[in-house]
Structure formats: structure tokens, C-alpha cells
Structure 1
């Protein structure tokens, strides 16, 4: 064994047990003449100088200050005059636990003063400080007891002498003789009694005082009174008294620099000054401080402008020099200790300390020199180096040298790394055993990073494999999409608006010529819409078309195949394979890496938690992502720990290396998984375990049987564990699978997804099959949610379908149905199930998921029978042929056979598609073979409201022999179709029933217009006839032709109809109905409100034979009188009667009406007498119309009557009638000439045409006196 370089070793003992042989070195301060003698000599010289009061021994931590002071205390000429005060017992980070009355008590400087005062008060025994005001408990001294006994004896002797001098001895002797005592015995007994009594009393009193002092003072209670600002001020008398009685001349003060508070030096300096200037002490007392250089720099320093304690002074030049000088005035002598350990030479010192364990060559197993260099950069303290050496010796012995089972892979580098961690971060090391250390947090984040990156790359790998498979099967996909699109032609016909579509034509990117064209589907996947044209007939039977654009999303919904550009685009297969290979290598690295390797990968990141980036400066973090290097910086407790991880000396199994290893059953990997996953109950999915390790875990956890409790715990959610169970413990695997299926929360979903993506096909399908019976989300997850390659998804879905139970499920939605519909042909569990029961279960699932088997010819017989019963197929010609062809799929045939009843119901539910598919069969089929069954089938169709819209199409496709003669024999819902397709008779009963149900609609109107009459039995009651007739007359929308309505009503023979049933909108019926005698020729028929329009009034008046006889102002409105008089339809007798009643008919006439009537009479040259002409004037007829009418009367109107009417007209007409003087002017027209000619020479001299600027061309007449 090499010589220990540190002479201050702990001796090796016998017997030679391990604990007695491990080389250890004490860490107590050690005087080394080579390093410390010069500083001891300097201190002694400083102490001997008469003016020295305060000495500072400065140096960094570990530079040997304590060793120098220890040597000084041992070598000084009078050790009794040297006391040592240390603040190592005071925690700088822990304040008072009880709220003090004086806030100053919590200040750091007062806490330091309090500790110093307590140490001074306890420095001397109570006997040395009898005048101290602090009672302290102490044991009675035997010397005091001797003194008490001697005193008692002396008192007894003095008593004897006093009695002898007083002459009392004889008396005392006599009395003693009486009782049988002698004087010597008496005085001896008295002396002994007094001694015993005094000693007993002293013991009792001293013990009682000690007890009271202990109860009162105990550990001395020193507190700061509310009126005091510091402990030194409050207890100054006690401090002075201490220095007075203790004869102390040197005070060694250590560890005061631990608090970084320079204020305390002000108080210590003040105390030193008081002690040395006090006459009570009477001698020089030197304070020797052991302080760090950094604290020395703070003493006396002024606060900078920001008020930051400990910051560098902002003073420069002379001001800075004065500031430093001010600090130096605090001490009479400052002795610096030159450091003998630094980061520059720590490597050499550490190499010396660890020499016996350092590997000299690469072939010798030992501590790596590189690790020594790394550690030396962070540990530049001699005491720490020796502490590390001691801990390393113990660890290497327990973990390697004396270990019965060494941890696999352990080395001295690993042991030293853990020792370094323990030495530099003991709290973190201690919490490793509880898995709560920062490194354990790092492990959690590391596992999260690995899991996130494996998850990302696994999904990426799945996408790449999907692209690879899609690229190889694009043509098959295009053919499948074309077939599905072609099968949807009947459904697409229903998209027509306003026309009856009969044909669908696709015009691009895929066309009718080739619906499976790959290039066209690629264009659709890129976003190009599919142009579709619907050809058909409009409402007038004209051939028209309607164009529609189908977006990729609409097409995807229709055919049930995703139109994803990535699925359809052409890919570089070689490039895809390279990417697949690269991604697989990345996943392999993530499962098989060391922390050192991962530290170098800045591209592998995880989402950062709050505070991680801030805690790791210079971290490679972008967009809330952080690399493993950043995590190490954030969680490594020290920079040394960070470097140990970065350079590979601290591995991920550090927790296993930090304790004893008993690897008789459990290996390192298994033990790590038990600790990280099973014990906390938190699985690590990707933790790599070989079969041996899994077996060790099962043995250690008592899980070798399938019913072990371990299999109920989520901690077994590990890829390798579950794969092992699937291979070797099928029962346990089933138990785990059941829990996965029943719990199905986020942990289960994550594990199952990763297992399906990563494991071999036989493993993933086996797990899916075990989970399926109790897995409610089995189909939804495997078919839709899980991110899987197409082939993998097919295998898993098929496995689930083969093992699924018949229980009700809640995962069968449209997405699942779409997937099953698209891929059913590639699923053996669906096309060729093992038995009829399995076929029924699978088809039941298809029904629940709204899945569709597009081509029944892909199914084996048992599957075909189950599919037919489950009705999961569309109505296509191909499927109808698979079900037996046209002769077997007629509705009346299917209805009569019990086994085919589900097919019958399915045909009714998909009637439109059924009818179209039936028409496409070769030869085309008919939905009803036997016309007698037509009404029954039609009734079944009408039984469900959704099918009513298809009744018309159904009736149209049946044979013309399929009729229902009486509508009452079938549901009213189908009457419209029967009437529309003329599959019933125009009997009064049918028409009446139809009208009661639907009214007179266009459908019935066309039916009636085509037949032209209604067959009405003689026994039909007249009221019913009249009601139907009235409704027909009101059906102007359905029967726009008046003649048709009148003809139909006439065929019913309803008798005379009440005029009140005729609406004003149907007033055009009054004339024709009057003509055929269905309306009474009476005043009520000519209601003014009914015949408001002239055309209707004219037709009614023209058809009436009696209108002239009963016409009055009510039946002959003044607004129609002018037109009536001019109508050619007016009977002559009617016109004469109206003119005869002219005066009464003008009641209520407006001026316009009167003017029109006057003009009409003038045009007819009707001869009227003066009262009727005057009635027209009174009604407001215009002057021109009256002039026209007067002129038309000619000579039949007497001159007197002429002048009378002109007078009534006023104005120039009145003047020209009366004559006189002046000139009158009238319009230059024929009517005025006629009137003026009759009055010429009577009231005027004659009329002449004359043009003036003011009046223009006018007829002027000069008035004269009338002459008769």
C-alpha cells in the first residue's frame, strides 16, 4: 500500500476487519509547519507589540486559518489568557423562531452578538464569576464542603473556649456526669454534630439553589430588552466583568465571516476599544479575527449609489484609495494567508490524494485521470479533497471491494462521481434513496423527453410507412373509388333541383369513360372539384340538364374514402425507404443511449416546464422546447453534477449505484424498472427490458402465476413486459389486456397505441384479440383513432372483429362504418367468418356502425346470408344479382317468402335505389310481378312516411295493369301517385275523397282535364254534388281553363248554385254559368263586389235575359254604365231599359263616370230629353262631353231646352245662351259650330274663326240682345 500523503491519519486497528482496515484521515484543523509556521510567527509578533488591539488573519475558505489559530492557542505563553469564540453553531439562514418584542433582535448583527455573549457567559464556572447577574446551575464543590466542615469545627472549638473562659466547664461537667457523659465525649460529639449539620445544610441549600438556577436559567436565556439596540450594549457590564475576572488577553474569533455581514465588525471594534480603555479590565486585550478576503473587502466600505450591499465600489482614483484605507483602520495588523489550493493546482493535489486509486494506464481499472481533472475544477479545497477521499474509500469498499454482489457495470469512476455528488450536494444525494432528488426529477424529465421523441418518431414512422404503402397501392385505390362513385349514381339523381333527373354524367377530372383514372383522382386530391351533370325533364316535359360541382370533401363523404393529398400523391419510394430507415435508427438510439450521448443531441427536445429555461442559462431552448442538455442545466444540483453527466461519469442508473446491491435475483435493469416504475406505480413504456430482466421482475414481484396482483397494476404497461406475457404467460396477458380495455384512460391509450405501432404484427394482433371482448372502444380506436400504417390497421381491425363480443358497443360511429365499408373485402373476419354466429356478430356491428358492404359477391355463403339478414348492402344491380336476380327480388315475391322478408324491408327502405338498380338489370325487372299484389305492396310503402316521396316513382315503374280502381281501398298517402299516373277512375266518389284529403291540386286538375268529365251516379245526393262543383269552380290554379271547370261541373249536374259560393276571383264563371243555367238570373247574381271587373260584368250582363228589368244603381254600377252602353254583348232591350233609367242609374257616379256616360250616349246618338241631359250635367259630366251630346241631339232638342241647358252650364255657355254685349270664344270644333249655328242671330251675330295671340284659334261670336 502506498504511503498516505496526509500524516494526520486515523490509526488502523486490530482485528483486521473491514471497518478497521479502510484508510481514513481526520478533517480536523491540522498544523502543518511547512504551510502554517510563518503565519503563527507573524501572529505572535503582532500580539507582542504593545499597540496591537485588533488583528485580522485573512484568507479564503480552506486556506488554513483555523489551523493557524489552533497552533497559536496551543503555543502562546499563557494559554489561560487565550479564549476562542466560534460562530459555527449559528445558522446564517435561520432566523428566530419566536417573534421578539424588539425587532432589532432579528437583525443578523444582533444574532451574532447574542451568540458571542452566550459563549462569554458560559466561558467561566459560576464560582469564578460570583457577581454575575446570571445564575447558572452547577454541582457543589468538595472543597467548599471541606471549608464548611472546618468552619463548623472551628465554631465548636470557639464554643468550648468561651465556656472555659466563662468558668462554665465545671457546671457542664457536673451536669454531664449526672447523665452518664464525660466532657471529652460531649465536646467531641458536639463538634462532630455541628460538622455533620453544617455539611448536610450546605448540601441541601447548595442543591436547592442549583435546582432553582437550572429551572430558571437552564441553557442561559439571553434576550434583548425593548429599549436596547444591541446585545453588547445591554450586557456590557457582564462582558467587562468577564474580562476582569478571566484575565483574558487574546480573543480568537472564527466563523464570523460566514454571515457576510460587515456591520458586526463595527460592534466588535467598539467592544475592543471599550475593553482596552476600561480601567476595570486593566490590561490589553487583543481580538484576532479569522475572516475571508471577500468579507474584509466589505468592512468600512460605503454603500454605492444603488444601495446594494457587497457590490463593488463605484469610487475611482483617490476616493477609492481612501475607501480602502478606511477599511484597513479597522485592524492594527492584517496578516494574509497565501492559498495553497486553487483550481490551478487542485488537480495535482487530488491526484496525490487519490493516488492509490488512479489508473496509470488504460488497462488498469481505476479512477480516470480525466475525471480527476474534471473534479479538480470544482473542488479547490484541501479539507473537501480529504473528505472526498474518506467517502470514496468507504464507498469503494462497500460497493466493490467487500461487496458480495457488485452492481453490473460499476467502476471507480462511477463511485467517485457519486462521492463528488455527495460531497458537493449532500441534500440531493440524501434524497436519492427517496427518489425526490433533483437528479430523480431529471430522470422523470429525461423519460418524458425520450417518450415524447419516441412517440413523435413512431408516429412519423407510421406516416412514412403509410405513404409507402399508399404509393404502392394508388391504382387500386383509384379503381375502388371509381367503383364506389359509379355505384352512387342513383343517389346522386336526388340532388337535382327543379327537374326529374334520369341520368348522371361525370365530366372531369374523372369521366364516365374511365372513373378509375389515377391522374383524375390525383387532381381531385389536390383540390379540383368533380364536374357532374344531371340530365332529366322539367315540369313541361322538356329535356334539360343541371350542372353541379362536387368538392373533394363531398366526394369523400359520399364514397367513404378519405381524399387526402398525401395518400394520392406520387412519392419517391427510394427516398421514403431512406426516411423509414433513418427514423428506425433514431428510435433505436432513443431506446439504447447513454446520458452522455443524449446530452450531445440538441435536436432532441421536449416541451419545457415553467422555470426550466430560466434555471438553465444558455440552454438550447426554442419555442418552449428544451433539450436534454438544458434539462441537465436546470436540474443538476451543482455545476459539477452537470459536467459529470455531460461527460458520462454519472450514468442514468445512478440510484442503483448509490446503495448496496443484492443482485441475487434482480439485475440492474430490472431493479431500475422496479424502482422507477413498479414501486411508484408509474409505467415507463419504452424502458428496454430483455426477457431475462422481465423474468427477474416477475419473480421478484411474486408474479410467476397468472393471477398475481402485479398484473392489476398499471406499472406493467411496458412494451417488453407485455410482449413477454403474450409469449410466455397468456393468462397474465389476458388479465393485463382486460384492464387495458376496461380502464381505457390516457395511460392505457398511450401504451396500446405505442404497442400497436412498435411491436411485431403477431404481438399487436394478439393483444388486440385479448382486449376485444371487453374493449368498448376497440373498433373506434383500431379503425380510426390509432395512428397506424394501413396494413397494421387492417390486421388489428380484423383481429378485433374476429374476437369481439355481441354486447352493445358505444364506439360504432360513422368513421368506423366508413372504414369497414372501404376495407371489408380485405377483412377475412368479415368476408369469411369462422361460423354463422361470428358472421351474425360481425354483420350486427356493421349495422350499428352504419357500414356498407358494397359488393355482396365478395362474401362467402355464411357471410352473404348474414349480410342479407342484416341489410348492410346498397341496392345495386350487382347486389340484386347476388341475391338471386330480377325474378327473385320483385317486391311481391320477397314479401311472400319469410326468409326473404329482411330483403323486402331493405328494398322498401332504399326504394329509390332499388328501383334504379332493378331497372339496370339485364333483363330489367319490375317491382311487382302480380298486379293483384300491387295495392298490398303499395300499402307497405305508404306505411312509412319517409317512403312516401318514392311512391310516385314506384307507381311509375310498375306495369300499367297495376291499378287501384277505388281510392278508398288504399291509404290516402298514395292517392296523389295513383291519380297522377292515371291508375284510378274519374268517379265522383274518387274525386270527392281526393278533394277531402288533398283538395283540388294540380295533380287532380290534370287528371280531370284529361278525362273531361266526372262519372256521377244518379243516387249521389245533390248537396254533395253541389259541394264538389263549388270546389271545382274554385280550383282556378289546378284548372285554369274556365271552360274545363264549367264542363266538369256540368257533368256533375249540381243544379242551381248559390251566387255567394262564387269568389270575386272566379267572377269570370258567372257569365258561362248563367249561360248553362247553373246560376239564377236575378239581382243577387250581379253583386257589384263580385263583378268588380268590367270583363266579368260584361259577360254576365251579356248572358242575362232579365238584367234590364231589375237593373238599378246597385246592380248597374255607374262606373260600368258607359262601357255597358257601348258593349256589343248587350241585348237591345237591356240597353233601352238602361237609357230609360238613366237618371236613377247616375246615383253615385263620379264626374269621370258622368263624362264617360255622356260620351257613350253621344256616340250612340241617343235622343235624350232635357231632364236626363241635365242629370248628366248635375252628375258632373264635363262641358266638352255635354257639348258633344247636345250637338248629337240636333234639331230634336228644342231651342228653349238648348238655351236652358247652356245657361246651366254657366260661363261663356250661359252668356251665349242669354245674349247681350261682348264677345264669347269657344273651341274651334264641329260640336261648338253646331250649337253656335242654332243660336246665330238669336243671341249673337254669328261665329267666326279667329286667331289671336292671347287665345289662339277660336270660334268668336259677338253677342247681341236676344231676339225670338
Structure 2
């Protein structure tokens, strides 16, 4: 942070006189104010920030002392009438007249106003009060002397000159003190409303009534009593009341025509030209009349119009911005400066924004641990200057920028859900691809076996060397077991050719059917589509998901495949109050970290991701599965920032937060919500299945406290088989003997389909076999192949008869000696098995 000595001077927003830019206008206006100039009403016109005030300041400074009066009417309370009615215009004009008279009244001390009937409160003049008290005391004593009322005082003095003098002085002091006290006590409190004597009554008009509208004589008296020859009116154009200029022109004419005012009185008006165009297009006027009316109105009201050429325009504003930023010792990317300069050209606003940028930048935590960007800070300061109320609402989280942030999060949520669905479909297709690969290998083995047998019969060769040709593509023996070979063969109308040392043999469709046992039509049904690469596609989806999850709105608009991207830009424009705000968002200068720039943070350990989570997820109480955090450190910082109560809310359903706290007992409320909340909790688990990094640990914690876990898995039919198998496998490993699981027909069907892929049933500790067997029995599961079970589990299941009665299973359970399978011997192995044999 810069020290006070090295920091540049504050850029005060008062008007500065720049000799090279303003001197010409000063000379023109001074020429119009010469005594011999006929101009009485002079307009100094230009847009806001063009330098009118700088010119007027210099003119007034160079004008004869105490002869120039400035009147600036910044605001007043408007009436209740509709702004477009004649009554409203008259009311506005009347209010402006009153404000002008107030300025005239209060510009000089009340005593200087002399005989003015406008009575104002003022501080008592003590010297005048003392003199008036002394005169009052003298008058009272003289009256007492001439009326004989002083005889008692003379008797008290007993003829002694010294005593008489002392008594006289004391009486003078007492009466004077009383007169002074009366003046102090009743100053500004007593006014004479009426005098009456008998039947005669004299009544005075209200002292506080009346302004310019019916007291023109007071205004004439004011200027007659002072040496003012120049009155400058500023800010009258803010009220779009063009009638006031006509009335002021009439007033100027009356004042200059008055015999009481000996010197010419000139009015100078600082205003913008567009004021006259606003009032120059009444409905029904032809285009030419509308075109000329504004020019006619300007010429009608003023004797001379001096335009001030703006020095800040869209073309020059960038230079002004860069100059002001250099003065503050700041260097920023030209892109953000150019964008802001396109909308803001007022030099006072430019200075204000640059200074506020310097203040906010200096207020950041030392070292800028949040990695806040200077270009984003300048963008937010520009937003603050244009929309201060919205900036203040950032603190409470209900600003328009928060609404835009909600749009961003919704777009990310919808896009991530779409990517998850695609990943599930690809995973399902991957299982199907595995089946097709297995079928291709089996078909290839059958084809090679048939061809080898044919060549052995025809040529006596055990395994001849040959090439398989489909169309113009040659395949080796090894290629015959691949999926691509069979996909190509299923699509080839001419069939298969075999090249044996240059001799070509055609394998017809009938030959293929004889060798494979399937027709070409069936082959096309078995191998219906081109080989895909699911692993590569899933990897691409993961990359896309990571990119989308952390993207700003500007980045989302540039990413292909974002859900709702066609309407996203229009939604942003609808949520924001100005084109400047829209461009700052779309340009990426105001991003999801905007709230970090609007406040000062003293906890330097919190990263932007943590603070954003606290403000945009935890504070509004929404769910964002993919909001980023920085591992365990970020999770702890978030809990410090928000408090441990966060874990009891739905906002705690966040993949990064759960990953970080899976070994922490504080996560219990989150685990409870996952199991009990059928909407948010179950949706979170499905998302975690795709993107979580510690799925085995999460399932290990969930299964003992979630009796309906297997019902949830069985009901998730839209999940790919591989993911269902993963959940079942992890769930079986985490079985708790203290829990009674809900296992219906759907669970039984799912288990029977997946048993061959469940490693938990063949790779486990021997001590776990009884619990697994009880679960299979409780679910009513019939094991298709006992060979898919571990030996301890297989023995228990075989003894209970919970398996398909096939030769393979009996061989696995009781050995290859079929003499031991008799119904006379099996009951000795297991009573349950005997019951099953008799029943089934």
C-alpha cells in the first residue's frame, strides 16, 4: 500500500480551469459582458462534463468584485401532478421561481436587505443591541425626569451629588440591561400582525408569504440595493422546464427597464442544447417544422449562444482514461479501459472512478491473496458509478449481478446434468460393446475353425496361411476375431473372399451360415453399428464438464454445447440495467468473483472459491454439487467462514466438500440427508458416482445407516450396468449385521443379473461369508452359477439350495462324481437342500 507521501493527490471533482482548453470561451463570454454589449440573455451550452463550470468559474473570478451572482438550483421536491400535464409544468416553473428567489434572499445578510418585506431569521447583532438598549435607557430616564417619576430616587439620594450620580448610573444600567435582555429573548420570535385602537384596526400581510410569483417588487428592490450586474444560472436544465427560461427572459427585461436599476443586468445560463429538442416535437407537426422548432426556440430565448465544444468523446475518452489512470500510477489492459471509455466520457466521472479504483485496490488484503484482478476491479468501479444502488445490494446478495450469477449457475447445472446423462449412455453402450467384442471373438473362432477344417480336407494343410478380403480391405487371421472385421463383413454385399497364396476363394452367404450357424441377416442384427471408443468419449466429457463447472458467463457463451446458450445472452441483457453492465459481463471483466471486489476481507486464508461458495451457495441456501473448493483446507475455511451449521443444510451436498470430510464425524448430517432426501440427496449420490473421488468410502459410510440402499440401486434402472454393479459390489462389502435391509423383487432380479460381475461375492474375508449368504437368502436370490461365489460362500449357498439346479452347479457343489448326487445321499449334506430338492 502506498504511503500518504507517495500517494498521488486526490482528483477533486470540482471544475478545473485549463488555460489551453477554456481560455477561448472565457474571452468570448467576457466580450459579451462588456458594458457596450447589447446581449442581456446569454447561453453557454454544452453537454454534461464539457467544461461549462470551468469557464464560468474563471469569468466570475475575473469579473469586478461583488458584481456577479451565481444561482444553482440542484433539486427540489416536485409536486404530485403528472409530469406531462400543463399543471405539472406550471407547478415546476413556479417551484423554480421560488428557489431562485430563495437564493436571492439568502445570498446577503438580512440587515443589508434594508426595507425588504422578506423577514429572515438572523443572529442578533450584539453591538446594535447594546446601542439600542442604551438609547432605550436614556429615553426612559428622561421621561421619568420630565414627568416627576424620578422624585423618589432624588429623595433617596438625600441631596448628596455623589449618591444622586450613583443612583442615576444604576438606574441607567438596570433599564439598559432589561432592554438588552428583552431583545435577546424575543429576537426572531415576535412579529406584528395587527394594531388596533378602539374601532380602528391596522392589519399587516403575512411576513413569510410570497415569492417571485407575486413579489416582483422585492426582486427589483434587491437588485436596486446591490451592485450586481451579472447573474449566472446553473443546473436549470436538469428539470426539463423550458418555461422558466422564458420567464427569466421576461424578468430580465423588466429589471433592465426599471429606473431603479441603473447598470445593465445580464443573465448567463449554463445548459445543454438537447433541452430545446425535447420540447420541440409536438404531435402532428410536419417533419420540417419539427426540424426548425428547436433552432427557433434557442434563438428566441437568448441574445447570444456560446457553445462549449466537448473535449471528451467516444474517440478521445480512451486517452483521457489512460491519462487519469497513469496519474494514479495504474496500468491496466487496454481492452477493459476501451470498453468503459465507450460508455463514460464525463471527465468528473472518469476521475471519480479512477480514484475509487485506487481506494478499493489499496483496501485489499496485503499481498492480494485472493488473486483479485485489477481489470475486474475497474469494471466493477465503473458499474458502481453507473448503478450505485445495485452495487450496494451486492452486500445483501440481491443485486442484478447476483441474478446474473444465478443464471450462470443454472446454466452450469443443466449442462453438467446433460453431460452426466451422456456419460451414462456411453457407459451403457460400453457394456454393450463388451458383449459385441465377445460375440466377435466367438464368431472369429468359429470362422477360422471352419476355414481350417475346409483347407485341411481340400489341401491337407493343418493351418494354412491365408488373407481374408472384404471389398478392398485385407484382414489377417488375428483380425478375424475383432469387432471391426465383423462390422465390415455385415455391411459388405459381396461377402467374404479368402486369398490363399494368390488363389481367391469366395465364401458365400450359404457358406458362412454353414460355418457360423447364423445367417447374414442375423449377423447384421448381432453386429449393428460401427465400433465406438467409449473410454475416449467419457474422457472428453470429463474434460468438458471440468471446463463448464468453473466457467464464467463470458466463457460459457463461447463453449459449445452449453444448455440454453441460445437464450443465455438475452437473459443476461434482461437481468442487467444497462448495455455497459451487459458488455462488462459478456467481456468477462465482471465474473463470478464480483462480490469479492465489493468488500474488504480480513480472513486472508479464504480462497475466492470458498468465499464464492459462502456467498452464492450457502447464503441463499441453494444446492450446487460442483461448486469448487480447494480440498480439506478449502472445506475447513468454508466451515470457519459460514459455521458448522452449514453441514445441516442442503447446501452441504457438494462433491468437493464431501470428498474432503469423508473421514470426519462432522459429516454425519450430510450422510443423513443423502439417505433421507429422495430429491436432493439421491441426485447428489448419482452425481457423486460420476465425479466423486472417494466412492468406496462414501458407500461404506452410507450402507450401515441406509436400509433402503439396495432398493435405491435396483430402482436406478437408467444407470449403466457397470455403475449398478459398482454400487452393488460396494454395498455388499459394507453390509452391517445390525441393519435389516429392505430387499424386494427388484433387488433379487438385479442381484441375479449381476452376480457374475460382483467381486464382493468371490473376494472377501471368510468371516463375511455368513452375512453375505444371509443377505442373498433374505432377498430370495437364486445364484445362477455357484462358481461365481467364493468357496466359503459357495458352501453355505449350496447347503441352503439357493442356486439353480444345473449340472454345472451340482458339479461345483458336490463334485464330478454323479453317484454322490442321489436323493438318498444329498439330504445328509443339508436338510435345507433336501427341502429345496423336494419342493423344486
TM value normalised by structure 1:
0.51
Q: Does 1:43 align with 2:1?
A: no
Matched residue count: 736
What's the counterpart of residue 540 of structure 2?
Answer: 582
Q: CA deviation at 1:255?
A: 1.6
Q: Does 1:380 align with 2:345?
A: yes
Q: 1:443 aligns with which of 398, 405, 430?
A: 405
What's the counterpart of residue 141 of structure 1?
Answer: 125
Change (3 A) 1:845 1:181: farther
Change (3 A) 1:860 1:693: closer
Change (3 A) 1:141 1:472: same
What's the counterpart of residue 273 of structure 2?
Answer: 293
Q: Secondary structure at the match of 1:18?
A: coil
Q: Does 1:600 align with 2:586?
A: no
Q: CA deviation at 1:421?
A: 3.2
What's the counterpart of residue 52 of structure 2?
Answer: 65
Change (3 A) 1:95 1:22: farther
What's the counterpart of residue 282 of structure 2?
Answer: 303
Q: CA deviation at 1:285?
A: 4.2
What's the counterpart of residue 184 of structure 2?
Answer: 203
1:801, 1:828 → 2: CA distance?
10
Change (3 A) 1:768 1:85: same
Residues 261-410 of structure 1 mapped to structure 2, 5 A cutoff: 261-273=241-253, 275-276=255-256, 285-299=265-279, 301-305=280-284, 314-316=286-288, 320-321=291-292, 324-355=295-326, 366-399=331-364, 404-410=366-372
Q: 2:71 aligns with which of 66, 81, 85?
A: 85
Q: Which sits farther off after the overlay, 778-787 or 339-348?
A: 778-787
Q: 1:747 aligns with which of 657, 680, 684?
A: 680
Residues 946-965 of structure 1 mapped to structure 2, 5 A cutoff: none
**1:433-453 Cα deviation digits (max 9, x unpaired):** 333332233223222222221
1:171, 1:415 → 2: CA distance?
88
1:420, 1:576 → 2: CA distance?
48
2:97, 2:229 → 1: CA distance?
20
1:395, 1:118 → 2: CA distance?
40
2:713, 2:44 → 1: CA distance?
77
Change (3 A) 1:149 1:800: same
**1:142-188 Cα deviation digits (max 9, x unpaired):** 2430331242244157448847xx9x999985664169974333333
Q: Does 1:29 align with 2:9?
A: no
Q: Does 1:466 align with 2:466?
A: no
1:256, 1:702 → 2: CA distance?
51
Q: Does 1:186 align with 2:167?
A: yes
Change (3 A) 1:693 1:596: farther
2:283, 2:185 → 1: CA distance?
63
Q: CA deviation at 1:200?
A: 1.9
Checking the alignment, whether the CA contact within 8 Å between 2:137 and 2:176 is kept in structure 1 is yes
Residues 1057-1076 of structure 1 mapped to structure 2, 5 A cutoff: none
Residues 1065-1214 of structure 1 mapped to structure 2, 5 A cutoff: none
Q: CA deviation at 1:756?
A: 0.5
What's the counterpart of residue 594 of structure 2?
Answer: 654
Change (3 A) 1:132 1:822: farther
Change (3 A) 1:784 1:339: same
Q: Does 1:430 align with 2:416?
A: no
1:319, 1:296 → 2: CA distance?
11
**1:1108-1152 Cα deviation digits (max 9, x unpaired):** xxxxxxxxxxxxxxxxxxxxxxxxxxxxxxxxxxxxxxxxxxxxx
What's the counterpart of residue 669 of structure 1?
Answer: 609
1:866, 1:879 → 2: CA distance?
13
Q: 2:727 aligns with which of 774, 791, 796?
A: 796
Q: CA deviation at 1:137?
A: 3.1
Q: CA deviation at 1:866?
A: 7.1
Checking the alignment, whether the CA contact within 8 Å between 1:667 and 1:696 is kept in structure 2 is no
Q: CA deviation at 1:198?
A: 1.6
What's the counterpart of residue 648 of structure 2?
Answer: 712
What's the counterpart of residue 661 of structure 2?
Answer: 725
Residues 958-997 of structure 1 mapped to structure 2, 5 A cutoff: none
Change (3 A) 1:769 1:334: same
Q: CA deviation at 1:31?
A: 2.5
1:221, 1:901 → 2: CA distance?
120
Q: CA deviation at 1:633?
A: 3.8
Structure 2 gaps of 5+ residues are 194-205, 442-482, 488-523
1:836, 1:711 → 2: CA distance?
36
Change (3 A) 1:106 1:377: same
Change (3 A) 1:794 1:183: same
1:769, 1:170 → 2: CA distance?
119
1:314, 1:766 → 2: CA distance?
81
Checking the alignment, whether the CA contact within 8 Å between 1:152 and 1:195 is kept in structure 2 is yes
Q: CA deviation at 1:876?
A: 8.0
1:235, 1:452 → 2: CA distance?
70
Q: CA deviation at 1:570?
A: 3.8
Checking the alignment, whether the CA contact within 8 Å between 1:840 and 1:866 is kept in structure 2 is yes
Q: Secondary structure at the match of 1:748?
A: helix
Checking the alignment, whether the CA contact within 8 Å between 1:722 and 1:733 is kept in structure 2 is yes
**1:760-785 Cα deviation digits (max 9, x unpaired):** 4xx22321221122335522433333
Checking the alignment, whether the CA contact within 8 Å between 2:708 and 2:741 is kept in structure 1 is yes
Q: Secondary structure at the match of 2:158?
A: helix
1:221, 1:797 → 2: CA distance?
95
Checking the alignment, whether the CA contact within 8 Å between 1:471 and 1:571 is kept in structure 2 is no
1:388, 1:784 → 2: CA distance?
59
Checking the alignment, whether the CA contact within 8 Å between 2:611 and 2:638 is kept in structure 1 is no
1:115, 1:872 → 2: CA distance?
100
Residues 481-492 of structure 1 mapped to structure 2, 5 A cutoff: none
1:841, 1:107 → 2: CA distance?
91
Q: CA deviation at 1:63?
A: 0.6
Checking the alignment, whether the CA contact within 8 Å between 1:253 and 1:288 is kept in structure 2 is yes
Checking the alignment, whether the CA contact within 8 Å between 1:855 and 1:873 is kept in structure 2 is yes
1:434, 1:88 → 2: CA distance?
31
2:5, 2:684 → 1: CA distance?
49
What's the counterpart of residue 839 of structure 1?
Answer: 772
2:739, 2:708 → 1: CA distance?
11
Checking the alignment, whether the CA contact within 8 Å between 1:65 and 1:290 is kept in structure 2 is yes
Change (3 A) 1:181 1:328: same
Checking the alignment, whether the CA contact within 8 Å between 1:465 and 1:789 is kept in structure 2 is yes
State the superposition RMSD in angstroms: 4.8
**1:876-903 Cα deviation digits (max 9, x unpaired):** 8988999999999999x99xx9746974
Checking the alignment, whether the CA contact within 8 Å between 2:675 and 2:682 is kept in structure 1 is no
1:240, 1:870 → 2: CA distance?
119
The structure that has the greater radius of gyration is 1
Residues 149-228 of structure 1 mapped to structure 2, 5 A cutoff: 149-156=133-140, 158-159=142-143, 162=146, 173=154, 176-177=157-158, 182-206=163-187, 208-209=189-190
What's the counterpart of residue 758 of structure 2?
Answer: 827
Checking the alignment, whether the CA contact within 8 Å between 2:8 and 2:328 is kept in structure 1 is no
1:169, 1:710 → 2: CA distance?
93
Q: CA deviation at 1:840?
A: 5.2
Q: CA deviation at 1:291?
A: 1.0
Q: Does 1:573 align with 2:557?
A: no
2:367, 2:756 → 1: CA distance?
59
Residues 494-505 of structure 1 mapped to structure 2, 5 A cutoff: none
1:633, 1:223 → 2: CA distance?
52
What's the counterpart of residue 737 of structure 1?
Answer: 671
